[in-house]
Amino acid sequence: MIIAERKPFKEIAAAVAPYDKILIVGCGTCVAVCLAGGEKEVGLLASQLKLAAGLKHRRIEVGEITVERQCDLEFLEPLCDFVADFDAIISMACGAGVQFLAHMCHFKPIFPAVDTTFIGVNNAVGYYTERCRACRRCYLGLTGGICPVTMCPKGLLNGPCGGTLNGKCEVDLQKDCAWSKIYQRLELEGRLDNLKEIVPLHPHSRGTTPGTVIHPAYRRRYGVDE
Amino acid sequence: MSKLSEALALNNFAVVAELTPPKGISVAAMLAPVASLKGKVQAFSVPDNEHARMRLSALACCRLVQEAGGEALLHLACRDKNRLALESELLGAAALGIENLLLVSGDYVTLGDHPDAKPVYDADSVQLLQIAGGLMAGRDSTGQALDGSPSFFLGAVVIPEAEPWGPQLVKFEKKLAAGAQFFITPPVFDLEKLKSFRQQTTASAAKLLAAVKVLSPEEAAQAKTGEWRKVYAIPPDLLARFEGKDGNDFFQAGAELAGNLVGRIKDEKLADGIYLKAEGRPDLLGKILEVAGMC
């Protein structure tokens, strides 16, 4: 899932300071799980904004709504009429959700309330770690289910760098060296031969942004050549 | 053929001295060892933003070394350049007459003095060796033909004291397969570990340069307090030689120790040559060779 972290209140408050009617839109999927932008966080931010305005003897109107997924047109369309009553929008979704909402709601200033951080996993409440860089060429079958692109800070594809120390990473000695873990895993699985071939240069052209995926079954519908 | 590759091919014990590129454009101090040692060493090695700290361009430094009468060994790190820039730099080196290369991944940017810089690592060191090999064969990394192909002596790093050893061996073997002709180790203080590595890799046709370093007081202090985070160990009895020494006495003791290590590495044939790290100081580099009986 997408992991995000809420921005400091000061930054959010400064961004919406010119506006009196503000709508906060939460997202009920990834950012809700990582406690950054779900319904509870929308309520908390609304209270903070109202309290801060009150301390400055300002009256502001803050609307709150949380949709299932801001990255999904199906859930965003019903919002469009609702937004009309407000001067500005704060989106608590990841960057994809913020942009989709901005695209749907023309001429409304929109501000992010979270910093989108990475694609990761939910280890336990409040504890998330990165696992995928969405590099568009997955090596996990070769590397024992441990991603060298993500788990090695340098994204090295052919083995460890010279800085690995006792199986730990030169960048952060609290973290495991990805290549030590890959080696251990493949050794346990009897698949060390996987590491004999030199992995060629990564095809970065596939990662030219912004990316588009059309499912093969829908190519005709979207006018894409078969 | 470079002097370095020629010396190694003839099984002459080779000497490479590392220079310290300035953080700025004052190059006189960096070039001082070239004037005093060019008859005693095969090549002067120039790191590429070593430890991810921004310094004068290694390629420019290599050219200056040549103009001062020395042979250069250019380091090229994958950290700072994508494949276009790496290939272009390699061709630039060849056009300037630089043959000796040390191709490395490069320390991560957050460990250096520009921690917010974007780390590149478009290629890794194995892939960079392949790229250089491809250029030598007249093709760039996309297979396009070159107008004139370079000649290189390809070097890479190996970590004899790596723990765990398995992953390092994978990398070493890939570097060999990718065309590495010589390897340089990190600084060696524990010769037993070097000996063990040498015994394991005798079948390799690649040559080995063992690095020997003059310790700084800061490094010695780190090694004593357990804050050491290097890929090589310093035996306690060697550290004890620095007890009570500071300032220049400390460095002189370091150079003497380095000289002793060089002598043993040469006598016991633990490497095909030596790579000297002495903060680019001509006096210390000269003393190491003197103590080792090599000048």
In a domain, B175, yes or no: yes
Q: Which of B108, B126, B229 sits opposite A173 (nearest CB)?
A: B229
**DSSP helix/strand/coil, A101:** helix
Query: Do A158 and A81 belong to one domain?
Result: no
In a domain, A71, yes or no: yes
Query: Do A16 and A52 belong to one domain?
Result: yes
Q: In this complex, do B121 and A195 lie within 8 Å of one another by their Cβ atoms?
A: no
In a domain, B225, yes or no: no
In a domain, B290, yes or no: no
In a domain, B193, yes or no: yes
Q: Which of A160, A166, A187 sits opposite B171 (nearest CB)?
A: A160
Chain B residues whose beta carbon lies within 8 Å of the beta carbon of residue A161: 105, 125
If one counts the domains in chain A, the total is: 2
Q: Does residue A225 have a pLDDT over 80? A: no
**Span B149-192, pLDDT tens digits:** 999 999 999 999 999 999 999 999 999 999 999 999 999 999 99
Closest residue of chain B to A186, computed from CA coordinates: B167
Rg of chain A taking only CA atoms, in angstroms: 22
Q: Which of B105, B167, B231 sits opposite A154 (nearest CB)?
A: B105
- The dihedral region occupied by A104, where left means phi > 0, alpha psi between -120 and 50, and beta the remainder, is alpha
What tokens does B106 get? 């490069």
Q: Hey, how many other C-beta atoms are within 10 angstroms of the C-beta on A61? A: 14
Chain A residues whose beta carbon lies within 8 Å of the beta carbon of residue B177: 198
| Overall pTM > 0.90 | yes
**Span B88-126, pLDDT tens digits:** 999 999 999 999 999 999 999 999 999 999 999 999 999
What pLDDT shows up at residue B231?
Answer: 81
In a domain, A223, yes or no: no
DSSP of B221-269: HHHHHT---SSS---HHHHGGGTT--HHHHHHHHHHHHHHHHHHHHHTT
CA nearest to B47, candidates B13, B22, B14: B22
Query: Do A50 and A109 belong to one domain?
Result: yes
Query: Do A154 and A46 belong to one domain?
Result: no
Query: Do A89 and A178 belong to one domain?
Result: no
- The residue segments making up the domain with residue B108 are 3-215+272-281
If one counts the domains in chain B, the total is: 1
What tokens does B212 get? 């020997």
> Which of the 8 DSSP states describes residue A207?
G
Residue A1: burial class (beta carbons within 10 Å; 0-12, 13-18, 19+): middle
Chain A residues whose beta carbon lies within 8 Å of the beta carbon of residue B79: 154
Supply the CATH number for residue A20's domain. Answer: 3.40.50.2300
Interface of A with B (CB under 8 A): 153-167, 170-171, 173, 177, 179-180, 182-183, 187, 192, 195-196, 198-202, 204
Identity of the residue numbered B123: A
In a domain, B184, yes or no: yes
Identity of the residue numbered A96: A
- The residue segments making up the domain with residue A102 are 2-118
Rg of chain B taking only CA atoms, in angstroms: 18
Q: In this complex, do A153 and B79 lie within 8 Å of one another by their Cβ atoms?
A: no
Supply the CATH number for residue B139's domain. Answer: 3.20.20.220
In a domain, A224, yes or no: no
Query: Do A87 and A145 belong to one domain?
Result: no
Q: Which of A171, A180, A198 sits opposite B110 (nearest CB)?
A: A171
- What does the pLDDT profile of chain B (295 residues) look like in tens digits? 999 999 999 999 999 999 999 999 999 999 999 999 999 999 999 999 999 999 999 999 999 999 999 999 999 999 999 999 999 999 999 999 999 999 999 999 999 999 999 999 999 999 999 999 999 999 999 999 999 999 999 999 999 999 999 999 999 999 999 999 999 999 999 999 999 999 887 777 899 999 999 999 999 888 887 677 788 889 889 988 898 888 899 999 999 999 999 999 999 999 999 999 999 999 999 999 999 999 7
Q: How confident is the model at residue A226 (pLDDT cuts 50, 70, 90)?
A: low
Query: Do A96 and A145 belong to one domain?
Result: no
